[in-house]
Amino acid sequence: MLTKLLVSSVTLLVVCSFSVRATEPIIGGWRLVENHARTHEYRFAMLPQPVPGGTQFVAVDWTARKLVCCLAVQGKEISEDSLRNKFHIPEVWIADLMNHWNLEQAPYRPRLFMLTADAAFLAHKFTGESTFMNGGLLLPVDSHVTSQGHLMINQERYRGKFIERPLADDDGAVYIYTLRPSSGGKQVVVEVPFGNN
């Protein structure tokens, strides 16, 4: 009887633990990069954890405070080796995608996935700096912006902050998005680097 009770308690704990993790939103970054020959463009998701193929996200037009639908994950996780040898991405953009600029203190090690953009996304003209067209913040597809300009993600209200910080030796910049939940939970930080050399 005691054994059954212990097994049931452990099972319940695992289920509850999984349920809490499952409801946490997956928030990351995205980047548009080209191959060496500049004949192909690729959009990649830079996520804190793996996601299944077909998962949809919205990009944030930060200046306009709009969410731009939709970007969908296509296929399995992409390795750094694949970026180099299959997609022929220049090293500076591999460094961006893998966030090699901040190895010690990066908010997370990016997990990369190819993204497919739908017609609505491709038709959108991002406002503000031209760099916003090449990357930024990525949110779950059911997110929205409130009338006060806050982000609603999984029924949680987030205050967003954006800063642009130079990379080492002025080799470009990193866009840092900080989302602080109104409930006082752990803030989310996403870094999207744009290297020059």
pLDDT above 90 covers a percentage of the chain that reads 76
Q: What pTM does this model have? A: 0.86
pLDDT(1) > 70: no
pLDDT, average across residues 177-192: 95
Calculate the average pLDDT of the chain. 89
Give the pLDDT band of residue 103 (cuts 50, 70, 90): confident
Which of 185, 149, 129, 151 minimizes the C-alpha distance to 59? 151
Q: Quick one: average pLDDT of 89-113?
A: 95
Q: Is the pLDDT of residue 15 over 60?
A: no
Per the structure block, which two tokens stand in for 28? 């990351």
Higher pLDDT: 197 or 174? It is: 174
CA distances 77 to 14, 20, 115, 154, Å, are 26, 24, 11, 24
Question: In which band, very low, low, confident or very high, does the pLDDT at 21 lie, cut at 50, 70 and 90?
Answer: very low
Instruction: Classify strands 151-153 and 144-145 as parallel, antiparallel or unpaired.
Output: antiparallel
The string of DSSP letters for the chain reads: -HHHHHHHHHHHHHHHHHHHHHHS---EEEEEEE-TTS--EEEEEEESS---TT-EEEEEETTTTEEEEEEEEEEEEE-HHHHHHTS---HHHHHHHHTGGGTTT-SSPPEEEEEEE-HHHHH----SSGGGGGEEEEEETT-EE-TTSPEEETTEEEEEEEEEEEPGGGSEEEEEEEEEETTS---EEEEEEEE--
Asked if residue 185 has pLDDT above 90, the reply is no
**Gyration radius of the chain's alpha carbons:** 19
Residue 5: is its pLDDT beyond 80?
no
With tokens 């939940």, the residue in question is 181
Asked if residue 3 has pLDDT above 70, the reply is no
Q: Would you tell me how many other CB atoms lie within 10 Å of the CB of residue 82? A: 14
What is the rounded distance in angstroms from the CA atom of residue 146 to the CA atom of residue 107? 26
Say yes or no to pLDDT of 22 above 70.
no
What pLDDT digit, counting tens, does each position of 145-183 carry?
Answer: 999 989 999 999 999 999 999 997 778 999 999 999 999
Q: Find out whether 30 and 106 touch, Cβ atoms under 8 Å.
A: no
Is pLDDT above 90 for 11?
Answer: no
48-77: average pLDDT: 96
